[in-house]
Amino acid sequence: MNIKNTIIPSVTFSGRNLRLVREYADITGGKGVNVLNFIVDMMLAMPEKVRMNLLEFCQINIQQIEQNMAKREYSNDLSVKRRVAYQRLERFLSDENCQMDIPKKEKGEKIKRTIEFTATNYGLVKEKAKKEKTTFGRYVNYLIVLTLDIPEEVKSELSVFSSASLNETIQHSESKSRYINELSREMQMHYKKMELFWCNNQRAAFDGHKSMKKIDMKDGYIIYPSDWVVLEDVLRDPKESSRASVVEVYNGRRYGMPHFLLFSNIAKNESYTEDEFKIIEAACLRANSRFADVLKDEQSMVDEEKPVVGVFNIIATDDPYYDEFDTPPFGCKIIRDISKSKD
């Protein structure tokens, strides 16, 4: 990639950080110089609304990790690494003094390289380095640690957050105000950058569902695949609900059945009543007319191909059986905001 209006400073990298950049470049089929420019643009040219949303996401994750660690008699290594990664991001996004995270000097192997930065990116790094009273090169190393030297689980979580936030921003972008629409487009572009950046290191995330959506709930929010059908105002409005459930049709593929998402305040580990099931089935029927064939064949068919309708509660991060190291089905889960939760 030819970069116009560039500045080519000499940067001393730690051996580890340079390897991280090279590995990422190899995975994505790009060049190290492009990776570094992408990181600078993604982290230092972040729209304010995106920064605030990402900051809140980091703070919620820190709360959840610390709560889960408190439940155990010991803290495993991954929990500690996840917390450290989110705490670093929180300090960066809070615009706090980040000198504690910036190495005074590179340890171990040191490798000096000349790197072609865009003039804009060079200016952003230089300004931040001056504010943090550090060198240009050390601030570049700091950005590499902040974005690449983090657990794969955190990268995946950041990618899913970005994907869900992107879809939410698109949904809310309809406005007569050209100014608001321009801000929305800027946010969408930045969420897409973050989604792609942290997703590129991952295998097919969450059972192949790369696009996720987000809906706010009473004491948190839910992340779910974008191809699920949301049953609105069936049992509860999402913002009045603390729980969510998914309607899944076993052997439903030949009927073209999607997953249906609904909201309620059903107690943990409880089932819906017969009357509530009828309400849910009626809502699915309104959303997809072929659901009538599913209900009919469920009663009449006896072979292994018959469809079976099931309603399953979505796991929440404050559930006692929630395991932060297991990926829930389809990546769908309720992210509980502990500060708002009354449980």
pLDDT in tens, 42-58: 999 999 999 999 999 99
pLDDT digits (tens, 9 = 90+) for 45-91: 999 999 999 999 999 989 988 888 887 655 678 889 999 999 999 99
Out of 177, 199, 221, a domain closes at: 199
Burial class of residue 245, CB neighbours in 10 A (0-12, 13-18, 19+): buried
Residue 139 is encoded by which pair of tokens? 């601030």
- Same domain as 195, residue 232: no
pLDDT in tens, 234-288: 889 999 999 999 999 888 877 888 899 999 998 877 788 899 999 999 999 999 8
Residue 96 has pLDDT above 90, yes or no: no
Residue 142 in this model has a pLDDT that exceeds 70: yes
Q: Is the pLDDT of residue 210 over 70?
A: no
Evaluate whether residue 205 is within a structural domain: no
How would you class 47 by CB atoms within 10 Å of its CB: exposed for 0-12, middle for 13-18, buried for 19 or more? middle
Residue pair 9/116 in contact (Cβ under 8 Å)? The answer is no
Whether residue 187 has pLDDT greater than 70: yes
Residue given tokens 């459930």 in the structure block:
245
Residue 140 reports pLDDT greater than 90: yes
- In a domain, residue 265? The reply is yes
Q: Which secondary-structure segment (H or E) carries 261? A: strand 260-264
The closest alpha carbon to 17, from 1, 2, 39, belongs to: 39
Single-letter amino acid, residue 22: R
- Asked if 190 and 221 sit in the same domain, the reply is no
Task: Say how far residue 98 (Cα) sits from the centre of its chain.
Answer: 24
pLDDT score for 23: 85
Q: Using CA atoms in the order 56, 60, 62, 64, what is the torsion angle rounded to 10 degrees? A: -170
| pLDDT value, residue 179 | 54
The reply to whether 193 and 271 lie within a common domain is: no
For the chain, the first-to-last Cα distance in angstroms comes to 53
Query: Tokens 């969408």 correspond to what residue?
Result: 188
| Cα dihedral 71, 73, 77, 78 in deg (nearest 10) | -20
Residue 324 pLDDT grade (very low, low, confident, very high; cuts 50, 70, 90): low
User: 45 with 129, same domain?
Assistant: yes
Rounded mean pLDDT, 87-108 = 84
Residue 154 lies in a domain: yes
Query: Could you list the residue range(s) of the whole structural domain that residue 280 is in?
Result: 212-336
Q: Check pLDDT > 50 for residue 169.
A: yes
H or E element in which residue 78 lies? helix 77-93
The mean pLDDT of the chain is 84
Number of domains in the chain: 2
Asked whether the predicted pLDDT for residue 132 surpasses 50, the reply is yes
Give the list of residues 6+ apart from residue 218 with CB closer than 8 angstroms, or none. Answer: 239, 240, 241, 242, 340
* Closest to 259 (Cα-Cα) out of 184, 311, 187: 311
* Side-chain half-sphere exposure of 124, counting CA atoms within 13 A: 18
Q: What's at 15, amino acid-wise? A: G
Residue that finishes a domain, picked among 144, 166, 199: 199
Q: What mean pLDDT is predicted for residues 320-328?
A: 65
Question: Which one of 178, 199, 220 terminates a domain?
Answer: 199
How many whole angstroms separate alpha carbon 236 and alpha carbon 265? Answer: 8
% the chain with pLDDT above 70: 86
Can you give the pLDDT at residue 206? 34
Residue 201's Cα: distance from chain center in Å?
14
Question: What is the model's pLDDT at position 176?
Answer: 46
Comparison of pLDDT for 91 and 186, the residue scoring more: 91
Q: Quick one: pLDDT band at residue 342, thresholds 50, 70, 90?
A: very low
Q: In this model, does residue 145 exceed pLDDT 90?
A: yes
Distance CA 280, CA 261 (A): 10
What pLDDT is stored for residue 201 in this prediction?
45
**For residue 322, is it within any domain?**
yes
Residues 188 and 226 in one domain: no
Whether 311 contacts 245, CB under 8 Å: yes
